[in-house]
Amino acid sequence: LFQQFGVLSALATALTSVLSALLLLALTRQLWSLRWSLTRDKESSLPLPKGSMGWPLVGETFHWLFQGSNFHISRRQRHGNVFKTHLLGKPVIRVTGAENVRKILLGEHSLVCTQWPQSTRIILGPNTLINSIGDLHKRKRKILAKVFSRGALESYLPRLQDVIKSEIAKWCSEPGAIDVYSAAKALTFRIAVRVLLGLQLEEERVVYLARIFEQLMNNLFSLPIDAPLSGLRKGIKAREILHANMKKIIEEKMERQQVEQEYQDFFDYMLSSAKEHGQQLSIQELKETAVELIFAAHSTTASASTSLVLQLLRHPAVVERARAELEAEDIICETQSSPSTNEGDAAITETTCLLSGVCHHCSDEDGFPRSWFHVPYLSLDKLSQLHYMDCVVKEVLRYLPPVSGGYRTALQTFELDGYQIPKGWSVMYSIRDTHETAAVFQSPELFDPDRFGLDRDESRASRFSYVPFGGGVRRCIGKELAQIILKTLAVELIGTCKWTLATENFPKMQTVPIVHPVNGLHVRFSCRHPL
């Protein structure tokens, strides 16, 4: 009996301890929620947005990490287009919807200001566009405007097309499948280094610098602790290596710069633009801006390029219609037989190519197999005539925007959807959710390029329903260049290549921090041959 009593007593004690712990957890959670409720602006009669602040210190960070995009979808369905949460140590208000996004994007420098993690600001440097605010930001955008002007873009295009042709030839030369996302990152890095920065480097050096840049990217969002082996220290080291490789060419350009000159690359346009605006840029400013340019163009364009290939794989009817447009515009030319072969040899070679799937009949100057079809050098005018191709690129950016949203900090308390956004809180506007829920898009769950056709153009009805490049004074300054890269890539792929998915199923897409296939997108490419 005494033994039974002891067991019951132990159970009661254990139960009391568990209940006490649960009550304590519930109390701390309530106190945590109360702590943030008290931060509401007392001068505003509006309530804070609905939502949960999660658990003390960690908030809802673990839910966010494990659930991915489903985290935001479930909370938007529960709380509406404006809800509060607590992520990565900060209170955040997540915002969806064209009108709400419009207010944030147009409120830059007055209602909100841009917000980047401290590690990002340190690694990229103080002279970059993303780290500047107010008048300094406006001055920097004016200087950079010439870098992305129509004249500059026209001058970049031939070299841009050369890089794309060369990379696609490598894809087609591979006997097995390639990971499109990795290949797209290599492509966009080469475009940034060779076309925009004008760095003429050996292939070995390009591969080395691409690896160094990956090291910078991998540590860009790290704890701001400058210690041996820390992410911040690794990121700073990678930045210094990149700077050292750019210093020589910058010095040479600054020495030979004249009043009249033929502009060739980013540095030429940048130096000329600064001079026109009565400013002189230091070598340090140019180095930091160059790294920022690679950062801005690299991952997002690689993401969009991968999404483009994914959608072309999923929708062969879209490919056929785009190819018909290229043929109608005389953009696809059939490559002539090699001068060194007679008709009989050419026929044998063609048969061999068709059987092997690799075109050895025509090779480029680097020895890579080349398609039987050829795309001549394009111009901006010629690209602008490809209306359906333009719709395809726009729909890729609507359906899978590379960046899911942007962060801002509230400079003052303001209203959204009947709620107050308190001064000092983080505000995250969602690009992806806005695209998915905008009423102007018919069947937004479908990939439908025709929604951007001239006779339909659903995005016209609401300017901020389609914001893959953001908007307002911080709209992506390289927007036109990104679209030109995607359009040129699409033209070359559709005009000269064939491709098949190398896996049984299409990959799932991860949306944080940038859209990309979870385990890669594995595709077999080959040269396109006459039917």
Give the annotated binding-site residues.
Answer: 476
- Does residue 33 sit in helix, strand or coil? helix
Q: What is the DSSP string of 462-526?
A: -GGG--TT--GGGS-TTHHHHHHHHHHHHHHHHHHEEEEESSSSPPPEE-SSS-EETT--EEEEE
Non-local (6+) Cβ contacts of 475 within 8 A are: 105, 469
Per the rule left: phi > 0, alpha: psi between -120 and 50, beta: everything else, 158 is alpha
Taking the CB of residue 298, how many other CB atoms lie within 10 A of it? 23
Say how far apart CA 531 and CA 525 lie, in whole Å: 17
Say how far apart CA 498 and CA 359 lie, in whole Å: 12
Say how far apart CA 39 and CA 525 lie, in whole Å: 56
Taking the CB of residue 293, how many other CB atoms lie within 10 A of it? 22
What residue numbers does the annotated binding site for heme cover? Answer: 476
What would the 3-class secondary structure string for 155-185 be?
A: HHHHHHHHHHHHHHHHHHHCCCCEEHHHHHH
What are the strands, taking DSSP E only, across 350-496?
A: 373-374, 405-410, 414-416, 419-421, 426-430
Amino acid at residue number 376: P
Read off the DSSP letter of residue 59: B
The tokens describing 449, both together, are 């390029």
> Angle formed by the axes of helices 479-496 and 316-328, to 10°?
90
ω into 513 cis (within 30 of 0)? yes
Report the run of H or E that residue 53 belongs to, with start and end. none
83: phi then psi, degrees, rounded to nearest 5: -140, 160
